[in-house]
Chains A and B, each alone.
Chain A
């Protein structure tokens, strides 16, 4: 674990010193704006507006941070040749990727954590309280961000930041819209073989819609941040899914990166 932790703490330091924390200021401003203006025009739905917009911003910022900081995660190391000083030491390439991924995750989590504290503070200030739903929704965001970071690590291990960014954004869109895409396929194709094939192909993509359970969850129960939300069991299940999926992605990244010539 020594090399992984050393690399993770270095990546974390890089992200923090890259002024990523400035995004907190923007978020704080947005939260305050939401609190002061949107709730005023929400016709007694101030709690709902604050929670929905706050969690929505948290999710959006989390994905933006993950994609923008993750795209150049490996590319920059190779382009600036700093990787020469790392991989010539007794550290495996899989360990290198794991360290980079964990460091980036820690830095994005720090920013999201501070944003969440602001959101809770604003909720308490406005007298709406901070119910468990908020914490559950925030945890789901962290899990989704973890998966997205693993995907940027995968693409970053063999392509440029632009391609990594585009591919990751594409996967986020597909992952969020998977149920709709499945429905379209079922409607479009009548042949069972085609349906099976399309269904299997879609299973390769991360089920990111699991982390934004708005409206109906899988038991047909209505979920909302201001009413009933997902259970803790659901949270545990999605955490496991995120860990396993990200682990598989990391292994694929390691296989691709293992024999790459660093010229």
Chain B
């Protein structure tokens, strides 16, 4: 009986280590990435987070073969990243992409397509489709030195998608974009996911990451600090809840005092802070029994930002 071949992970990173030598005599060794391991699942959007110097860009450069790890391995769809064919199914958008000033976006995309041995009407159709999708069709035949930052970012994305890659890797794609540009890029990333593509990107813009990523990894000082789905990371820090109750603030306060909970007056009545060790059901029942309307129950969750900051601080202290 034939068994189905297990799907190959788009990206597997194991024990990745990279250090650089710095200083006048290159005598000082700085570890940029120290023992990083994670893998991507097909069709997910994965965010790589971390403060400046965390090792995000170094990791992405090792994945794409621009720099070589001291130790460890990177496999893209099962192929070691050093192999040329490993890069056949990826698209890469570097941070602040630089282009050849003398080329138009169309000429650049033709060259990019040529590297993938794409040519003729199929390539032209693909190029025009990308220009339309990314909203730069009007500037396709202008030299790229005349492009704004947002247009350069779109041209960069167009070249990353020229081969219809299965894994799209982007380094800080949202930085420097205005809110509309960010929203459009978020939609493009979600569109890629909808088409079954896997997306890996690094970012500082946590609200966007929280909104579109399935999973995130937080790096600090070259080490993996947290990894998991956005939901699980945020839930890990669940710390009680807030209850908005309508009605007489004096009655709300009396019940809260009985339950030894903090409370504050609000426009509609009172806001009761349910501590982590309190039983939420008991608190709710107490107010319902007193026939006070429950207006809102909100869980206290960590924000991605608080996790990010906490991990960065922790890494700093450890160092």
Are the chains A and B members of one assembly? yes
Q: Which residues of A contact B (CB under 8 A)?
A: 2-3, 5-7, 9-10, 13-14, 17-18, 80-92, 259, 261-263
CB distance from B91 to the nearest CB of A (A): 8
Using A13-B103, A17-B102, A84-B66 as known contacts, say yes or no to A90 and B97 having CB atoms under 8 A apart: no
User: What are 29 A-B pairs with beta-carbon distances under 8 A?
Assistant: A2-B115, A3-B115, A3-B117, A5-B114, A6-B113, A6-B114, A6-B115, A7-B111, A9-B111, A13-B102, A13-B107, A14-B100, A17-B102, A83-B66, A85-B92, A85-B156, A85-B159, A86-B115, A88-B90, A88-B92, A88-B94, A89-B115, A90-B88, A259-B68, A261-B66, A261-B67, A261-B68, A262-B61, A263-B66
Q: Which residues of B contact A84 (CB under 8 A)?
A: 66, 92, 94, 97-98
Q: With A90-B87, A259-B68 in contact, is A81–B117 under 8 Å at CB?
A: no
Contacts of B111 in A (CB 8 A): 6-7, 9-10
Residues of A within 8 A of B281 (CB): none
Contact assessment for A90 and B116 in the assembled complex, using a CB-CB cutoff below 8 Å: yes
- Please give the distance in Å from B303's CB to the nearest CB on chain A: 33
Other than the given A10-B103, A263-B66, 7 more pairs (CB < 8 A) read A13-B107, A14-B100, A84-B98, A85-B92, A88-B66, A89-B163, A263-B61
Question: Which of B64, B102, B115, B163 is in CB contact (< 8 Å) with A7?
Answer: B115
Closest A-B pairs by Cβ, 8 of them: A6-B114, A2-B117, A88-B92, A261-B67, A88-B64, A17-B102, A84-B94, A81-B98
Task: Report the Cα distance A5→B117, complex, angstroms.
Answer: 10
Complex Cα distance A17/B103, Å? 9
Q: A2-B115, A3-B115, A262-B67 are in contact. Are A90 and B98 (CB under 8 A)?
A: no
Q: Closest A residue to B96 by CB, please name it.
A: A81
* Closest-CB distance, A9 to chain B (whole angstroms): 7
- B81 CB to closest chain A CB, in angstroms? 10
Whether the Cβ atoms of B100 and A82 lie closer than 8 Å is yes
Interchain nearest-CB distance for B235 vs A (Å): 36
Distance from A168 Cβ to chain B, minimum over Cβ atoms (Å): 24
Tell me whether A91 and B84 are in contact (CB under 8 A).
yes
By the criterion CB–CB under 8 Å, are A89 and B87 in contact?
yes
Which residue on B lies nearest to A5, using beta carbons?
A: B114
- Write the nearest CB–CB distance from A26 to chain B, whole angstroms: 22
Tell me how many residue pairs across A and B have CB atoms closer than 8 Å. 85
| CA distance in complex: A7, B113 (Å) | 11
Chain B residues with CB under 8 Å of A3's CB are 114-115, 117
Determine the chain A residues whose CB is within 8 A of the CB of B117 once the complex forms. 2-3
Cβ-based interface call for B65 (8 A) = yes
Bound-state Cα–Cα, A89 to B61, Å? 12
Knowing A18-B102, A90-B85, A263-B67 touch, does A85 contact B97 (C-beta < 8 A)? yes
Cβ-closest chain B residue relative to A263? B67
- What residues on A are CB-neighbors of B98 within 8 Å? 80-82, 84-85
Is the beta-carbon distance between B66 and A87 smaller than 8 angstroms?
yes
* CB closest residue in chain B, given A91: B115
Set B20, B65, B113: member contacting A88, Cβ < 8 A = B65
When distances are taken between beta carbons in the complex, the residues of chain B under 8 Å from A262 are 61, 66-67
Task: Kindly identify which residue among B64, B84, B90, B156 contacts A92, using a CB–CB cutoff of 8 Å.
Answer: B84
Judged by a CB distance under 8 angstroms, whether B234 is at the interface is: no
Interface residue B287 (Cβ < 8 Å from any Cβ of A): no
Residues on the B chain within 8 Å of A18, using CB:
102
B284 an interface residue at 8 Å Cβ cutoff?
A: no
| B147 interfacial contact with A, CB 8 Å | no
Q: Which residues of B contact A82 (CB under 8 A)?
A: 98-100
Q: Does B112 contact A (CB under 8 A)?
A: yes
- Within 118-159 of B, Cβ neighbours of A (below 8 Å) are at 156, 159
Return chain A residues, CB-CB under 8 Å to B61: 262-263
Q: How far is the CA of A87 from the CA of B112 in the complex (A)?
A: 11
Q: Given the complex, which residues of B lie within 8 Å of A90, measured CB to CB?
A: 84-85, 87-88, 115-116
Bound-complex Cα distance A165 to B110 (A): 32
Report the minimum CB–CB distance from B178 to chain A (whole Å): 23
- How many Å from the CB of A1 to the closest CB on chain B? 9
State the CA gap A139–B309 with chains docked (Å): 66
- Assuming the contacts A9-B111, A90-B84, A91-B115, asked whether A85 and B68 have C-beta atoms less than 8 A apart, the reply is no
Chain A, residue nearest B155 (CB): A85
The CA of A17 and the CA of B101, in the complex, are separated in Å by 10
Shortest CB distance A78–B (Å) = 10
Assembly CA distance A92 to B115 (angstroms):
10
CA distance in complex: A86, B163 (Å): 13
Residues of A within 8 A of B84 (CB): 90-92
- Let me know if B112 and A89 touch, CB within 8 A: yes
- A6 to B107 Cα, complex, angstroms: 11
Distance in Å from the Cβ of B249 to the closest Cβ of chain A? 61
User: Which of B65, B67, B112, B113 contacts A85 (CB under 8 A)?
Assistant: B112
B118: nearest residue on chain A (CB-CB)? A2
Which residues of the partner chain B approach A81 to less than 8 Å between Cβ atoms? 94, 97-98
Closest residue on chain A to residue B159 by CB atoms: A85
Residue pair A85, B85 in contact (C-beta under 8 Å): no
Minimal Cβ-Cβ distance residue in A for B90 = A88
CA–CA, A263 and B84, complex, Å: 19
